[in-house]
Structure 1
Amino acid sequence: MRRVLITGCSSGIGLDAARHLRDSGWRVVATWRKPQDIAARQAEGMECLSLDLSCPDSVAACARDALAGGPVDALVNNAAFALPGAVEDMPRDALRAIMEVNLLGTHDLTIRLIPHFRDRGAGRIVTISSVLGLVGIPWRGPYVATKFALEGLTDVLRLEMHGTGIHVTLIEPGPITSRIRENAIPHFERWVNWQASPRADQYRATLLKRLYEPSGKDRFELPPCAVSDRILTALTARNPAPRYYVTAPTRISGVARRVQPTRALDWFARRN
């Protein structure tokens, strides 16, 4: 039975992927930060490990414990959080905090498993990016920065792993049903002093309503299983694609970035 390590399994894409892969015959090693989540998933028959990507010691322990439990065939890098707000209102430490999780911790865990994959002559690394790794939109600067960086780092890793038996794939979801908005609120409240911002009126008219008064699903929103299906494909295809787009906005953005001038993309981003 193949064994996969998945990060960020408390809800949304990570939780659905863990259940989907388990039901597809994989041994799932799922990670969480909260002990109560671990107990709930153990009851579902998953192996569970604690992981805080912002803490190097936690990343090292997670990799060590995952490998101590047996061979690992694949890694799914899913854990991430969002930090909404205007770029000009983001203190340096805010960017450092989101980079530690979305980029640096993810990279740290990945390179700790690569020697194991090399020794076995095979391995799959699947990293969950975003439509915001393709195009930027207002109020999402820190998250966009992490996903753009993650895309570049993963592209180079894929090139460097050629011929090793290690396949590296990006999955780029658009709007997916999850708790990312609710989970972003504590980070926003910690780091963004919006009341002192020259954009305070814009915050009131746009971002605060979106954060605290959700209007329902996005018209293009898909359930997490749409991403889980792509993860399974990336893990099982003989020659997985470098990228898999999920949702119409991601496919449109992928094409638009290649063929549209920057001014046209800017106009579209401002309207959305």
Structure 2
Amino acid sequence: MANTIPVFQSGTVEAVARAVGDLYSGSVLTQMLADTHLPDPLGEGATKWCRLDASLRQKQNQKGDGGAVIGLIHAAMNPDRTLDQRAEAAGVRDRLNQVLSLSGLRVRENGRIVRTTRATTAAEAAARSERLRSILAERGAHKEVLDHCRAELLRDDYYEAVFEAIKGLGDRLRTLSGLDLDGSPLVQQALGGKTPVIKLNAFSTATQRNEQRGISLLAEGLFAAFRNPSAHEPRVKWEMAEQDALDVLGTASMVHRRLDSAMQG
């Protein structure tokens, strides 16, 4: 991209400072500021994001362009620097891309900034979907779960994808069991009790029966937490962060894998 870029608005500078400040220790930031020839008016004793914010503002005022912000991001998101904290760096990159989209910029996976069109809701949802699917795929998530990481389900946050994934688990339990139930009653009859309709193993030893009971309780917990309350609580109370979605979808994926080798009782 061009060497000269307009001065960034104060809100953008603060957001960048907060994101980068969350990723590194004060001593690492000291080295990073030195490497990028940025001033350090507040020094190591200051709050990390305030320190970066002051540095970027001072340099922007001196130079009359936004090169300081670009330089700091390039240094902070360099893959060599983020190698031992790739998951955290990916989250910071997402935060940076959200704020940089207002300036028609984005950070690529190699840490370099490129020009792009201003992000729309659909584009942000698509990016969120791609990231969620990528992380789940790396974890070996079940296809039944991956199918619910679609952009149209991720426009606001991760709740709808989780909600649909739990519904999908219910559909699969109904198909395998032939039961016309939902939520806890479905799980209890399909997987629970002394004579479950769906057996996850030979169900002939105490260990096997305990295993079956454990999976049944996990599945029932998913429905209790993320399926049934939807009918009673306002949507605004069910916003979900990425890490929570990953944990829930990972649990659903494990239940699906057990169902792959299940037998009807």
TM-score by length of 2: 0.25
Higher strand proportion: 1
Higher helix proportion: 2
Please tell me whether Structure 1 or Structure 2 has the larger radius of gyration of its CA atoms: 2
